[in-house]
Amino acid sequence: MRIYPTIFRVVFQGMDPEKAHHLSFNALRLAEKFGVSGVYRKLCAPKPSLSRTVMGIDFPSPFGLAAGFDKEGAGIMALADLGFGHVEVGTITGAAQPGNEQPRLFRLVEDKAVINRMGFNNAGAHAVAPRIRDARMRLRNRFGAHRPIIGVNIGKTKVVELDDAIADYLISTRELAAHADYLVVNVSSPNTPGLRLLQGVETLRPLLGAVGVEADRVAGRHVPLLVKIAPDLTDADIADVAALATELKLDGIIATNTTIAREPLVTDAFKVAEIGAGGLSGAPLKARSLEVLKVLREKVPADMAIISVGGISSGADVIERLAAGADLVQGYTAFLYEGPAWVRSINKELAEAVSRGERLSAK
């Protein structure tokens, strides 16, 4: 089960990171298309003891895949077969856009980290919506009532001015909300100019309010709504977001997105400076992400969900976040380094902890 790190070193490490991502992602999709991932599905299915209800939704495992890996909903079925309790798709924008110029994805292998400035490259909400709708139906048929969950992450189209951001988010909301198990408003990517300015309470309040009302209207049901925040906010700013989320009765907060910080890193500082701008993810984000989780858990009501993401590489990391107050945990960057068996190993560690009588929760 540890063969993938060797494959990574031999095959992928010398390859352009974005090309390697497409190659591995397409391989997963082909495996699902031809039925090969059905073997994985049987081997990797989370134990029933891991299931939990969060935001009124039944998750087969507390561990899921963060937004960014499947930007357009093209590989939901393949990723579900690996054992993820949920797959968050996106970030999806109101209009299709190519993203930033290449190269825009960089590995920091020594740090088990990645810097990206992808820029929300995706086919747009109208094109992605049917894929999510179809995947949701197929998941129900394949897994039954305890299927993996689909989260949908939406962001601002790059060419749209900040003054028009609400209207732009509402385009995605109208297209996608009916097909989402939960909906995430992303205002924290560092790769869309000005986007993080929307994290200010006075701009965030009308945005979240409008998206929440419209999501429920088009779906004909309550769609759990979350906001995704950056790790670079001060603790005071985090407290303000927590107060706003409480005021608006949001269903949850996702903490955290990538960081613009570059400490602490093992990778040569000159190499890092040469890469330039972008969001850093992976192991170096672990400490700050955990800090943000703890601040939020103290500030928001016990029944408000927190999804913790950032620096997750093992089952022990997941258990630590759950013990610190997270309701769900997401990973992404370690998936690129560890490969498809990574998900099974984490679920296995969690199930073993449960069998020893450990509580995977702070509540």
Nearest-5° Cα angle at 95, 225 to 133: 55
For the chain, the C-alpha Rg in angstroms (whole number) is 19
Residue 260 near residue 280 (C-beta atoms within 8 A): yes
Q: State yes or no: is 61 an active-site residue.
A: no
Candidate list 61, 172, 188, 189, residue with the active-site label? 189
Q: Report the C-alpha gap between 127 and 65 in whole angstroms.
A: 22
CA-CA distances (angstroms) from residue 136 to 119, 144, 145, 147, 194? Answer: 26, 11, 12, 9, 33
Other Cβ atoms closer than 10 A to 151? 25
**293: which 2 tokens?**
């989780």
Residue 92 near residue 176 (C-beta atoms within 8 A): yes
Q: Report the C-alpha gap between 56 and 3 in whole angstroms.
A: 38
Other Cβ atoms closer than 10 A to 90? 29
How many whole angstroms from its chain centre is CA 161?
25
Please list the active-site residues: 189
